[in-house]
């Protein structure tokens, strides 16, 4: 592939922080870069506490443990997402219940969530937490979801793995829920080559999650353990990369948004649609995801055509309720209409890197438009 879906994009400042780690010999899953990166992310997100982790998945696992979610508990989660939003529910022995998306943002439907909460309350089996996702960096209907969680007294976790820099009413995604997390995996809007960040509200929460992330060692001279812990800290070298990346996050958001706007403009009138930005929200448009509403060829055909032209594109995440892994899980929709399935069946993600050149994007645009001509010719 010549043109990739989402590529790392260095600022040039990363090496300075990494060299600092080397020259001071802090090559460990702790150190000055880790502490500074936590403070810098917390400052950027305007949130009291942040804990750097080895991955976003680890951060979500710690979030569930911090909320005391365990065996026998139920957790509600958006179905249309990457599997990492859900697997940690299983790590702690809890059971996921999947909630359908709405067609505007493609994220958790507040109507479906309300229905599921009412049903659960009637049965006396409210979930221990709700996990909402800001898919592809587009902000979910988070105000309504936050309100519903408050109404039913259920903690909210924001999976902001894809939405660093996206905001709602001036608040960073990841800070609106009780807990939230970011991912710095290689394909995300900024990267540490691999890593994550858990956002917490209190000092006690941070101390609790930090202890679990470092093998749950008791505070005595020798190695004493009362709980099962994990090895979930970010390395000081990786945190150095993160510090260099965070300096340019706003530029990266602007670049990804520009990529989206160009696609939107160039594809006007060809029968496609996109995730909508709700009022007061700024998406980071990590990936431009497109619905083929009235497009002459199907999703897989389009992806194959683009691949032939050296362009990487991908189907939208396959919903969790359709995964063999989670086929037995409950799934709640509004009026039986399966929105997330439809979004999956007709959804394509297009190359959206912040370092995608206009020329490269032009190639993608022409390739998409050419598949239409091809389809029309064939049907004549």
Of residues 162, 178, 277, 345, which one binds ligand PLP by CB under 6 A? Answer: 162
Of residues 6, 33, 55, 313, which one binds ligand PLP by CB under 6 A? Answer: 55
Residues 206 to 245: which contact ligand PLP by CB under 6 A?
Answer: none
Would you count residue 56 as binding ligand PLP (CB under 6 A)?
A: yes
CB of 123 to ligand PLP, least distance (A): 29
State the Cα–Cα distance between residues 230 and 198, nearest whole angstrom.
15
Backbone angles phi, psi at 290, to 5 degrees: -125, 135
Query: Do residues 360 and 354 touch, judged by C-beta distance below 8 A?
Result: no
Binding mask 258-297 for ligand PLP (x = CB under 6 A): ----------------------------------------
List alpha helices for the chain, DSSP H: 14-23, 32-45, 56-66, 87-91, 110-123, 142-152, 203-213, 236-246, 249-266, 299-308, 339-345, 358-379
Of residues 133, 197, 199, 234, which one binds ligand PLP by CB under 6 A? Answer: 133
Query: Do residues 367 and 305 touch, judged by C-beta distance below 8 A?
Result: yes
With respect to ligand PLP, which residue has the nearer C-beta, 20 or 240? 240
Total number of residues that touch ligand PLP (CB under 6 A): 14
With respect to ligand PLP, which residue has the nearer C-beta, 57 or 333? 57
CB of 37 to ligand PLP, least distance (A): 15
**Residue whose tokens read 């998945």:** 57
State the Cα–Cα distance between residues 375 and 380, nearest whole angstrom.
9
With respect to ligand PLP, which residue has the nearer C-beta, 198 or 363? 198
**Residue whose tokens read 């065996």:** 71
CB of 294 to ligand PLP, least distance (A): 28
CB of 380 to ligand PLP, least distance (A): 41
State the Cα–Cα distance between residues 231 and 214, nearest whole angstrom.
5
State the Cα–Cα distance between residues 15 and 237, nearest whole angstrom.
10
With respect to ligand PLP, which residue has the nearer C-beta, 164 or 210? 164
State the Cα–Cα distance between residues 140 and 168, nearest whole angstrom.
9
R_g of the chain computed on alpha carbons: 21
Buried/exposed 184-219: b ≥16 CB within 10 Å, e otherwise: bbeebbbbbebbbbbbbbeeebbebbbebbeeeeee
With respect to ligand PLP, which residue has the nearer C-beta, 101 or 185? 185
CB of 205 to ligand PLP, least distance (A): 20
Q: Which stretch binds ligand PLP (CB under 6 A): 41-49, 51-59, 141-149, 360-368?
A: 51-59
Of residues 29, 177, 180, 196, which one binds ligand PLP by CB under 6 A? Answer: 196
Of residues 85, 107, 284, 291, which one binds ligand PLP by CB under 6 A? Answer: 85
Distances, alpha carbon 41 to alpha carbons 63, 200, 277, in Å: 17, 12, 24
Residues 320 to 379: which contact ligand PLP by CB under 6 A?
Answer: none
The footprint of ligand PLP (CB under 6 A) covers 55-57, 81-82, 84-85, 133, 159, 161-162, 183, 185, 196
């Amino acid at each position: 592939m010549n043109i990739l879906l989402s590529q790392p994009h260095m600022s040039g400042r990363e090496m300075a922080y990494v060299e600092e780690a080397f020259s001071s010999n802090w090559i460990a899953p702790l150190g000055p870069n880790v502490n500074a990166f936590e403070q810098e992310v917390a400052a950027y997100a305007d949130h009291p506490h942040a804990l750097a982790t080895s991955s976003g998945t680890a951060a979500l696992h710690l979030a569930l443990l911090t909320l005391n979610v365990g065996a026998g508990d139920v957790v509600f989660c958006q179905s249309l997402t990457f599997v990492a939003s859900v697997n940690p529910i299983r790590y702690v022995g809890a059971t996921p219940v999947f909630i359908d998306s709405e067609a505007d943002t493609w994220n958790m439907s507040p109507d479906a969530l309300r229905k599921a909460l009412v049903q659960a309350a009637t049965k006396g089996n409210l979930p221990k937490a709700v996990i909402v996702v800001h898919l592809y960096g587009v902000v979910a209907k988070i105000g309504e979801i936050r309100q519903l969680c408050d109404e039913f007294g259920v903690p909210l976790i924001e999976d902001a793995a894809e939405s660093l820099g996206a905001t709602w009413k001036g608040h960073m995604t990841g800070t609106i829920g009780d807990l939230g997390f970011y991912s710095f995996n290689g394909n995300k809007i900024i990267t540490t080559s691999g890593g994550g960040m858990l956002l917490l509200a209190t000092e006690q929460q941070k101390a609790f999650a930090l202890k679990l992330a470092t093998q749950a060692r008791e505070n005595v001279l020798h190695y004493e353990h009362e709980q099962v812990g994990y090895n979930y800290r970010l390395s000081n070298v990786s945190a150095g990369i993160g510090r260099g990346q965070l300096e340019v996050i706003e530029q990266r958001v602007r670049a990804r948004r520009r990529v989206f706007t160009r696609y939107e403009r160039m594809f006007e009138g060809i029968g496609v649609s996109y995730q909508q930005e709700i009022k007061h929200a700024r998406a980071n448009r990590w990936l431009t995801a497109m619905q083929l509403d009235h497009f002459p060829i199907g999703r897989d055909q389009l992806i194959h055509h683009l691949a032939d032209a050296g362009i990487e594109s991908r189907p939208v995440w396959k919903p969790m309720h359709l995964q063999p892994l989670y086929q037995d899980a409950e799934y709640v929709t509004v009026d039986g209409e399966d929105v997330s399935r439809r979004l999956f069946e007709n959804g394509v993600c297009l190359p959206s890197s912040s370092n995608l050149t206009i020329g490269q994007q032009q190639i993608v645009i022409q390739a998409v438009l050419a598949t239409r001509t091809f389809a029309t010719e064939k049907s004549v």
